[in-house]
């Protein structure tokens, strides 16, 4: 698997991977970066300013590692609200993780515009009101990789894990672009 490096030397030096291992809801996870100013800025440029061409910068140098590590997994992205995707012209999580070149299934739908970044404390738990299963894809005995751009409190992942468990997957793992410290 070949993915071309799209970063110049000075930009590459801004992206400092940590490959942080963590566990959430008894599921092992990896974060590629800390959610620092560089990641925050580039994610905003990408998804907030609709700069589609930026999608490969986040994983171009590491996609092959995750492709190999998760080659037997089905990737399930955290959803965003469909009208937001339509306005943007793409789903940012799907685009970032498309570099892994793995089977991706849109298993969830976000039913309302609810931005986790605008929520504090217990308000973040409200995400469970806005995510639901939107697929009849058979997950029984399958290895699942849940992906998202930012992991803050873990409420989105917790909700996705709880919604997937009744489908009896063989294994659930997590891969996020960035995680808060």
pLDDT higher than 60, residue 46: yes
Q: Region 79-93: what's the mean pLDDT? A: 94
Q: Does 26 score more than 70 pLDDT?
A: yes
The CATH class of the 9-179 domain is alpha beta
Percent of the chain clearing pLDDT 90 (strictly above): 75
* pLDDT of res. 159: 94
pLDDT at 2: 62
Four-point Cα dihedral 100, 102, 103, 108, nearest 10: -30
pLDDT digits (tens, 9 = 90+) for 132-171: 998 889 999 999 999 999 999 999 999 999 999 999 999 9
DSSP per-residue codes, 1-12: --------HHHH
Domain locations in the chain? 9-179
Cβ pair 131, 160 in contact under 8 A: yes
């Amino acid at each position: 698997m070949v993915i071309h490096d799209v970063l110049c030397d000075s930009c590459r030096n801004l992206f400092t991977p940590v490959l942080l291992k963590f566990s959430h809801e008894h599921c092992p996870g990896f974060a590629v970066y800390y959610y620092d100013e560089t990641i925050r800025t580039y994610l905003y440029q990408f998804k907030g300013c609709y700069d589609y061409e930026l999608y490969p910068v986040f994983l171009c140098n590491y996609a092959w590692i995750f492709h190999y590590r998760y080659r037997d997994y089905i990737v399930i992205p955290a959803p965003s609200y469909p009208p937001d995707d339509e306005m943007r012209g793409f789903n940012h999580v799907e685009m970032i993780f498309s570099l892994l070149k793995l089977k991706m299934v849109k298993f969830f739908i976000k039913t309302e515009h609810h931005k986790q970044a605008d929520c504090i404390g217990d308000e973040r738990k409200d995400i469970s009101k806005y995510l639901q299963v939107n697929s009849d894809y058979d997950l029984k005995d399958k290895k699942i990789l849940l992906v998202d751009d930012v992991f803050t409190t873990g409420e989105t992942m917790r909700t996705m894990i709880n919604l997937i468990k009744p489908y009896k997957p063989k294994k659930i793992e997590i891969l996020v672009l960035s995680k808060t410290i």
